[in-house]
């Protein structure tokens, strides 16, 4: 591992200043379950590590009827899963956060880290996308917000500029008559990186006979997490029956562009997208509120 | 006579230190002035080493030495291949694995090692050692390696015909060829109503011990070298170091640390020579701990194989002939367990007509080591899956088919030895009556599979020394490293024979200076051979004690009987003296302290059979296999400690389940792509149900308690048990391990037939 | 770079100077002499290094020592109280839930933590909670049974 300086600022401004002034390879550290592994393997070699866990804004975890839920970037998965409003109102996110790694990993790994590491297989990202999440970013020039799916540029690459940090993930209140679910496929029952992951969100008409809105986000099957827009559009106006869910699955696979690697072949991943899309849509319907 | 301690569920005597974190494993050793070692490894799977330049590494502050193979003395002429437990290997190969000399033959092979003041400096120094390589063509697959035009892993390797010891004239990657046969297989095919031939393939796997290799060395003021190591055999390591370091045995002491799992993979001295030479060169103690990546890339995995099996049977269920060709991949140096594969695969069957051919083949991959019943799992996968197909083809229940053809006492094993008393038929009868077999399995996509297993059980040498303390407690000394709870089993045996309670007995696993000689721990041999050695030592101890009691009571020793800590005169039981009294006086009486000894070298094998039953459910949309229920039946002869026996059965079964469903080395042009425990997938707790065990006790033919070796056979059946279960769940047979979800998925899609793998002809 | 870290381990305060690159596991083992937590993989895939950090189990190989400034850490050495083994430790011994013992310290921490969060877990809940700890010797059966036994023992005490 390369030698590095360590700082643990207690406020956001200081963190931004440290990252702005560092030579290009300064890194924020939240849970460390990705960054420390990468530093040990010399895939990332920061000269400065800025521990962001003591910054109050990054530890926010609140919910209200109007705003929905706000999750600080450093909040670990375990806290998110334990937060009743998330379990009750954003079950797909609770699902995902409860799947990452192990209990030990979930006690450290942060939602913000899952985003900033920007692995295509990040489990917690698709639920945020289908819940229409927005991200709050702070940097030397101030704050900005953007829709979550605009955050990713490629594997391991985000839109964060020099000195910028992810501060918060915000999810609006889900509309009535909607439900969402996240499922991923792994060869074991736990610990594995997703071979494919799908989050689905569906909202029905008042008479529950037709789909009015759908969002489907895919993990591990493209250079970034992606929305399956063709599948989403297909579902609008259609009855949410088996045939249509299956067709949505077929269309969702068209949004995928997977690679073959030690975890699975591209062809298999496409098949999994079909299955997981169908199953998450089904589960989302069962959760309809 | 009823046994009071043997057969009880005594908790492990060395458990308290393990649950409190006090047991000292290899990496826990700390010595004043200690340096940290780090190995420099080849980035190429096959290359000539042109030049090694350590200067930049040596210039780094904190770096104290850099060594290469030139720092090891040349091997003495006539240095023989050591028997390292269950697999032999020649010393040149061990030396090359420790530090490569002219060539590297697998990615990650050790070419140099550094010693520095802390692990970070050592890591950096290893990066600064500059090595020039000339890349050579790579041969990765076992069948490719057998082709006459394949690149040679060893230019001086000539195929040896095992039976005649004759060598071929052209070099080859086939190190050994063997054929075992009897009867007339052609007549057997003609007599059969159904003949089936299939080809099976398994991948390289790792033993997956949680503790990476760790060892340390220090040179004493008189030049003697002390080596601390997590190893399966202190004497085995010393024997190797004698040759590798060019030092006599009296100048080397090997001290065992607790071992965090071995399973056959911690027998070769591939790390110890490095720390010893670095300690000699720097004058300071040196410690080496491998990273998990190094463990996966560069220690000794379990051998992969390509196996063709052909079997014929009549409609009434009699096997008429079996033939097989087994090609085992040894990795970079010869010595795969192909012979064991032939033995294990066919051992459950009474065979009049048999033909078995084996090839030991080298490739540019890490040299394999033993992995719990080495060679057995791939072979049993092939044979047991084929037998399942054959039984179905003749319309017979798979269990009945096994019963009809089960080997029994007097039948010949595949390599020629006749079986002594064995329990295979007993096991099968118990399976037949057990709910795991009789309870119907309901529900879609579910199926049940059966498979048999066998292990010969090692013997080799074990010794024990028993010292009676003046207060009538007893200290036991052994040289056998405790892999599986053998400390506890030995304590139970001594307690039983001397009528003591386990708390009266201390047991020490000594080092090579203090312990009585023992061969490697492994091969399922310790409890078995120790049962004889302990019995002898107890008898010797009692004889010495009786002599002293007789002297005190003024009778002859033949008149004395011992029971429950009392020595009584047989004809006059009022005349008695206690064990305590005899012990107290013994250090200054007669011939001095009572030290009882026992040793054994050549017991006959105590063959161990097993049968596993697996229930699975397969997700037809993804191919994922869930194990619903798993039951292991095993003949252990006599369970000295049932808890430990159950634990061995369960642990081996789960390793076999991993081998069957999720574990495999994935290579890309000779480079291991999944050298971490994320993508090399060992089963986790949530992957498994409870593993039910049925202990069958058909006493072994030799030994005072009828004990059989227990630790290994359980890894043999799971491959086929699960393949057969998956077939019944899906209608699809798989011919390759592991049966990952993706493989099952595509097989279900294709409903394809048997694997089509062409066997290369021998040279 | 060197930094000073002050933390509590098993109820006692310690101050150490560490290289920023050292993990909490390294510091516990080689600076402070708590050799119970083990390194099995170095990247959070085996759980042999599990300790309790500020009340929650973590893989100490994925925490820098400097991050533990001001933290409370419990290792396996701190589980027995006044020499009295914890019911989890007793259950592991009685049930035969260990063989080589290398993974045992990590499992003890995970099991103890589980029973504090969920005093009466089902078999599946136990298996899920322990999936971050690999064992290669036991096949997990007796470990799961030991946790069930311990949960009953703790219920009696409560």
**Is a pLDDT exceeding 70 seen at residue A10?**
yes
Secondary structure (H, E, C), B365-384 = CCCCCCCCCCCHHHHHHHHH
Segment among A28-32, B34-38, B526-530, C79-83 with least mean pLDDT: B526-530
**What stretches of A76-217 show up as alpha helix (H) in DSSP?**
77-82, 84-89, 91-97, 103-106, 111-117, 125-130
Per-residue pLDDT at B604: 86
Q: Which among B342, B312, B311 is positioned nearest to B327, based on CA atoms?
A: B342
Q: Which chains touch C (3 or more CB pairs under 8 A)?
A: A, B
pLDDT reading at C15 higher than 80: yes
Residues of C in contact with B23 (CB under 8 A): 101
C-alpha span between B476 and B670 (Å, rounded)? 48
Kindly list the residues from chain A whose CB atom is less than 8 angstroms away from the CB atom of residue C42: 40
Structure tokens at B522: 């492994």
For chains A and B, CB pairs below 8 A equal 45
Question: Are the C-beta atoms of C127 and B691 separated by less than 8 Å?
Answer: no
C-beta of residue B53 within 8 angstroms of C-beta of residue B287: no
| Chain C residues with CB-CB distance to A105 below 8 A | 44, 59, 62, 132
Per CB-CB distance under 8 Å, the chain B contacts of A264 are 742
Show Cβ contacts of residue B251 under 8 Å, excluding neighbours closer than 6 positions: B223, B224, B225
Q: Tell me which residue of B311, B149, B284, B231 sits closest to B479, measured CA to CA.
A: B231
Task: Give B702-754 pLDDT, tens digit per residue.
Answer: 888 899 988 999 999 999 999 999 999 999 999 999 999 999 999 999 985 44
What mean pLDDT is predicted for residues A218-234? 98
d(CA A165, CA A156): 15
- Judging contacts by C-beta atoms under 8 Å, the chain B residues touching residue A193 are 678-679
- Would you state the pLDDT for residue B754? 46
Residue A107 to residue C56, Cβ atoms within 8 A:
yes
Sort out which chain A residues have CB atoms less than 8 A from B681's CB and list them.
187-188, 191-192
Quick check: B684 and A191 CB within 8 A?
yes
Interface of C with B in 87-116 (CB under 8 A): 89, 92-96, 98-105, 108
Question: How many residues would you count in chain A?
Answer: 289
**Nearest one of B493, B487, B494, B485 to B466, comparing CA atoms:** B494
Backbone angles phi, psi at A157, to 5 degrees: -120, 130
Q: What is the pTM of this model?
A: 0.96
User: Of the candidates A1, A191, A268, which has its C-beta nearest B745's C-beta?
Assistant: A268
Alpha helices in B571-624 (DSSP H): 579-586
**Cα–Cα distance for residue pair B740/A156, rounded to 1 Å:** 28
Contacts across the B-C interface (CB distance below 8 Å): 176
Helix (H/G/I), strand (E/B), else coil: A21? helix
CB-nearest to B690 from C105, C108, C141 is C141
Does residue A284 carry a pLDDT above 70? yes
Contacts of B391 (CB under 8 A, 6+ apart): B313, B317, B397, B398, B400, B401
Could you tell me if the ipTM is greater than 0.85?
yes
Q: How far is B541 from chain C (nearest CA, A)?
A: 30
Q: Which residues of B touch A2 (CB under 8 A)?
A: none
Q: How confident is the model at residue A244 (pLDDT cuts 50, 70, 90)?
A: very high
- For the residues C101-120, what does the mean pLDDT come to? 98
* Selected residues 123-142 of chain C with any CB under 8 Å from a CB in chain B: 123-124, 126-128, 130-142
Can you tell me the distance from the alpha carbon of B498 to that of B463, in angstroms, rounded to the nearest whole number? 18
A261 SS3 class? strand
Give the closest of A3, A29, A103 to C21, CB-based: A3
Instruction: For an interface test with A, give the residue of C5, C67, C123 to mutate (most A CBs within 10 A).
Output: C67
Residue A262 CB burial class (10 angstroms; 0-12, 13-18, ≥19): middle
Q: Cα separation of B755 and B727, whole Å?
A: 15
From the list A189, A262, A275, the residue facing B622 with the nearest CB is: A275
Q: Which residue of A has its CA nearest to C41?
A: A37
Question: Measured between beta carbons, which residues in chain A are less than 8 angstroms from residue C62?
Answer: 32-33, 36-37, 105, 108
Task: At B175, list the tokens.
Answer: 């190190």
Note whether C76 and C109 are within 8 A (CB). Answer: yes
Interface test with A, best of B665, B675, B678 (most A CBs within 10 A): B678
Q: How many residues does chain B have?
A: 763
Which of A29, A41, A102 is facing C47, going by the closest CB pair? Answer: A102
pLDDT of amino acid B6: 92
Residue B684 with chain C: CB contacts under 8 Å: 131-132, 134
Q: Which two tokens stand for residue C24?
A: 């909490």
Going by C-beta distance under 8 Å and a sequence separation of 6 or more, which residues neighbour residue B646? B693, B695, C96, C141, C142
* Over residues A59-76, mean pLDDT: 97
Least confident of A18-22, B756-760, C12-16: B756-760
Q: State chain A's mean pLDDT as an integer.
A: 97
What's the pLDDT score for residue B199?
98
Chain C residue numbers with beta carbons less than 8 Å from the beta carbon of A36 are: 23, 62-64
**Chain A neighbors of B664, CB-CB under 8 A:** none
C118 at interface of A, judged by CB pairs closer than 8 A = no
What is the rounded CA–CA span in Å between residue B301 and residue B331? 9
Contact (CB<8Å) C1/A108: no
Backbone angles phi, psi at B712, to 5 degrees: -110, -40
- CA–CA distance, C112 with C121 (Å, rounded to integer): 12
**Omega cis (within 30) before C108:** no
CB-nearest to B740 from A187, A271, A272 is A187
For residues B342 and B356, the answer to whether their CB atoms sit within 8 Å is yes
SS3 of chain A: helix, strand, coil, percent, to 5? 35, 25, 40
C131–chain A Cβ distance below 8 A for any pair: yes
Interface test with A, best of C1, C22, C44 (most A CBs within 10 A): C44
- Minimal Cβ distance to B684: which of A1, A190, A271: A190
Residue B624: closest CA among B747, B746, B740, B723: B740
CA distance C121 to chain B (A): 14
Q: What percent of chain C has pLDDT over 90?
A: 97
Residue A286 CA from chain centroid, whole number: 22
- Please list the ranges in chain B whose pLDDT falls under 50: 1, 753-763
């Amino acid at each position: 591992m390369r030698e590095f300086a360590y700082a643990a600022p207690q406020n956001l401004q200081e963190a931004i200043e440290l990252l702005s002034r560092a030579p290009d390879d300064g890194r924020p550290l939240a849970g460390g379950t990705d960054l420390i592994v990468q530093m040990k393997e010399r895939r990332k070699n920061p000269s400065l590590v800025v521990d962001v866990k003591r910054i109050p804004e990054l530890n926010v975890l609140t919910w209200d009827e109007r705003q929905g839920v706000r999750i600080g970037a450093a909040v670990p998965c375990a806290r998110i899963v334990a937060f009743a409003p998330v379990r009750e109102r954003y079950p797909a996110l609770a699902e995902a956060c409860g799947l990452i790694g192990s209990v030990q990993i979930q006690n450290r790994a942060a939602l913000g880290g899952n985003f900033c590491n920007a692995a295509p297989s990040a489990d917690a990202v698709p639920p945020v996308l289908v819940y229409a999440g927005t991200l709050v970013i702070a940097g030397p020039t101030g704050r900005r917000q953007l829709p979550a799916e605009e955050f990713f540029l490629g594997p391991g690459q985000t839109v964060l500029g020099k000195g910028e940090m992810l501060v918060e993930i915000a999810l609006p209140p889900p509309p009535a008559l909607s439900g969402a679910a996240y499922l991923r496929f792994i060869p074991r029952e736990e610990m594995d990186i997703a071979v494919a992951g799908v989050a689905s969100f569906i909202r029905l008409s008042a008479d529950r006979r037709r789909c009015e809105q759908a969002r489907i986000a895919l993990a591990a099957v493209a250079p970034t997490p992606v929305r399956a827009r063709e599948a989403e559009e297909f579902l609008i106006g259609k009855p949410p029956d088996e045939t249509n869910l299956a067709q949505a699955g077929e269309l969702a696979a068209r949004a995928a562009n997977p690679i073959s690697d030690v975890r699975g072949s591209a062809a298999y991943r496409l098949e999994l997208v079909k299955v997981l899309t169908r199953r998450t849509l089904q589960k989302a319907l069962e959760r309809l509120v | 006579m009823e046994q009071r301690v043997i057969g009880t569920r005594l908790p492990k005597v060395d458990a308290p230190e393990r649950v409190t974190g006090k047991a000292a494993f290899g990496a826990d050793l700390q010595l004043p002035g200690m340096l940290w070692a780090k190995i420099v490894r080849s980035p190429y799977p096959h290359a000539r080493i042109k030049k090694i330049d350590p200067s930049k590494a040596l210039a780094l502050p904190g770096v104290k030495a850099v060594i290469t193979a030139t720092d090891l003395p040349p091997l003495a002429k006539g240095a023989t291949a050591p028997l390292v437990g269950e697999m032999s290997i020649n010393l040149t190969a061990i030396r090359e694995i420790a530090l490569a000399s002219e060539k590297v033959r697998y990615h990650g092979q050790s070419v140099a090692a550094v010693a520095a003041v802390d692990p970070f400096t050592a890591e950096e120094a290893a990066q600064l050692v500059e090595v020039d390589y000339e890349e050579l063509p790579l041969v990765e697959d076992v069948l490719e390696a057998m082709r006459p035009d394949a690149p040679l892993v060893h230019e001086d390797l000539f195929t040896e015909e095992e039976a005649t010891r004759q060598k071929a004239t052209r070099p080859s990657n086939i190190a050994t060829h063997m054929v075992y046969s009897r009867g007339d297989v052609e007549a057997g095919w003609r007599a059969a109503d159904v003949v089936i031939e299939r080809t099976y393939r398994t991948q390289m796997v790792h033993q997956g011990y949680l503790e990476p290799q760790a060892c340390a060395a220090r040179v004493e003021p008189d030049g003697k070298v002390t080596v601390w190591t997590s190893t399966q055999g202190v004497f085995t390591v010393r024997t190797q170091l004698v040759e590798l370091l060019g030092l006599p045995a009296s100048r080397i002491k090997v001290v065992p640390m607790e071992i965090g799992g071995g399973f056959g993979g911690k027998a070769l001295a591939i790390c110890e020579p490095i720390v010893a030479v670095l300690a000699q060169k720097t004058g300071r103690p040196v410690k080496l701990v491998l990273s998990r990546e190094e463990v996966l890339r560069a220690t000794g995995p379990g051998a992969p194989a390509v196996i063709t099996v052909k079997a014929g049977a009549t409609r009434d269920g009699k096997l008429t002939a079996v033939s097989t060709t087994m090609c085992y991949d040894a990795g970079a140096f010869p010595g795969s367990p192909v012979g064991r594969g032939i033995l294990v695969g066919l051992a459950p069957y009474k065979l009049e007509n048999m033909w078995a051919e084996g090839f030991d083949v080298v490739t540019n991959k890490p040299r394999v080591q033993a992995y719990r019943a080495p060679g057995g799992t791939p072979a049993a996968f092939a044979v047991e899956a084929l037998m399942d197909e054959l039984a179905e083809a003749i319309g017979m229940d798979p269990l009945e088919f096994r019963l009809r053809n089960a080997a029994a006492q007097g039948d010949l094993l595949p390599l020629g030895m006749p079986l002594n008393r064995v329990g295979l038929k007993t096991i099968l009868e118990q399976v037949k009556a057990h709910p795991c077999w009789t309870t119907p399995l309901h529900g879609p996509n579910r199926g049940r599979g059966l498979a048999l297993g066998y292990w010969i059980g090692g013997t080799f040498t074990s010794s024990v020394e028993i010292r009676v303390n003046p207060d009538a407690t007893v200290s036991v000394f052994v040289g056998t490293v405790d892999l599986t709870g053998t400390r506890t089993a030995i304590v139970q045996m001594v307690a039983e024979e001397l009528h003591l309670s386990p708390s009266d007995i201390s047991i020490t696993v000594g080092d090579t200076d203090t312990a009585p000689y023992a061969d490697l721990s492994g091969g399922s041999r310790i409890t078995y051979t120790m049962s004889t050695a302990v019995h002898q030592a107890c008898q010797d101890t009692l004889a010495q004690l009786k002599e002293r009691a007789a002297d005190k009571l003024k009778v002859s020793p033949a008149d004395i009987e011992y029971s429950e800590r009392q020595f009584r005169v047989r004809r006059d039981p009022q005349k008695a003296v206690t064990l305590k009294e005899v012990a107290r006086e013994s250090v200054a009486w007669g011939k001095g302290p009572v030290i009882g000894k026992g040793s054994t070298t050549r017991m006959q094998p105590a063959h161990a059979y097993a049968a596993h039953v697996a229930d699975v459910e397969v997700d037809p949309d993804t191919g994922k296999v869930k194990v619903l229920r798993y039951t292991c039946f095993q003949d252990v002869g006599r369970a000295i400690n049932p808890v430990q026996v159950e634990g061995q059965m369960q642990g081996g079964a789960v390793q076999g389940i991993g081998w069957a469903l999720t574990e495999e080395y994935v290579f890309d042009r000779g480079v291991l792509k999944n050298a971490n425990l994320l993508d090399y997938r060992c089963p986790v707790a949530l992957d498994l149900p409870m593993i039910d065990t049925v202990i069958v006790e058909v006493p072994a033919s030799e030994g005072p308690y009828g004990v059989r070796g227990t630790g290994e056979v359980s890894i043999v059946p799971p491959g086929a048990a699960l393949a057969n279960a998956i077939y019944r769940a899906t209608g699809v047979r798989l011919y390759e391990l592991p049966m990952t979800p993706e493989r099952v998925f595509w097989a279900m899609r294709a409903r394809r037939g048997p694997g089509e793998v062409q066997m290369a002809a021998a040279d | 770079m060197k930094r000073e870290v002050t933390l509590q381990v098993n109820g006692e305060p310690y101050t150490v100077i560490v290289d920023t690159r050292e993990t909490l596991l390294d510091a516990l083992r080689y600076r402070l002499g708590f050799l119970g937590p083990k390194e099995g993989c170095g990247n959070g895939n085996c759980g042999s290094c599990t300790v309790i950090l500020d009340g929650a189990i973590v893989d100490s190989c994925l925490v820098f020592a400097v991050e533990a400034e001001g933290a409370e850490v419990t290792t396996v050495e701190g589980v027995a109280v006044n020499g009295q083994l914890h019911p989890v430790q007793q259950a592991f011994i009685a049930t035969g839930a260990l063989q080589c013992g290398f993974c045992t310290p990590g499992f003890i921490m995970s099991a103890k933590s589980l029973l504090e969060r969920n005093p009466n877990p089902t078999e599946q809940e136990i298996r899920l909670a322990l999936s971050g700890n690999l064992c290669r010797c036991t096949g997990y059966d007796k470990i799961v049974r030991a946790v069930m036994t311990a949960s009953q023992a703790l219920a009696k005490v409560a």
